[in-house]
Amino acid sequence: MPRPAFAFAVGLASLAALAPAEAGPCQVYPFRLVFAADSATTMNAASGKDCPIVARSEEKFAIDSNEITIPPSHGGAKTKEKSGAYYRSNPGFRGGDNFAFTLCGSDKGKPGCSTVRVKVHVR
Query: With 0-12 CB in 10 A as exposed, 13-18 as middle and 19+ as buried, what is 8?
Result: buried
Asked if the structure places residue 1 within a domain, the reply is: no
Dihedral angle sign, alpha carbons of residues 28, 71, 79, 39: positive
pLDDT at 13 over 50: no
Asked if the structure places residue 2 within a domain, the reply is: no
- Determine the structural domain holding residue 31 and report its residue range: 8-122
pLDDT at 7 over 60: no
CATH number at residue 89: 2.60.40
Beta-carbon count within 10 A of 95 CB:
12
Q: How far apart are CA 12 and CA 104, in angstroms?
A: 21
Instruction: Tell me the pTM.
Output: 0.78
Asked if the structure places residue 102 within a domain, the reply is: yes
Edge to edge, the sheet with strand 8-10 lists 31-33, 8-10, 51-57, 84-89, 75-80
Asked if the structure places residue 48 within a domain, the reply is: yes
Domains: count for the chain = 1
pLDDT at 123 over 90: yes
pLDDT of residue 59: 62
Q: What is the pLDDT of residues 14-33, one digit of tens each?
A: 333 334 454 568 899 887 77
What DSSP assignment string belongs to the chain?
-PPPS--EEESSS-TT-SSPEEETTEEE--EEE-TTS-EEEEEEE-TT--EEEEEEESS--EEEEEEEEE--SSEEEEEETTTEEEEEEPTT--EEEEEEEEEEEEETTEEEEEEEEEEEEE-
Length of the chain: 123
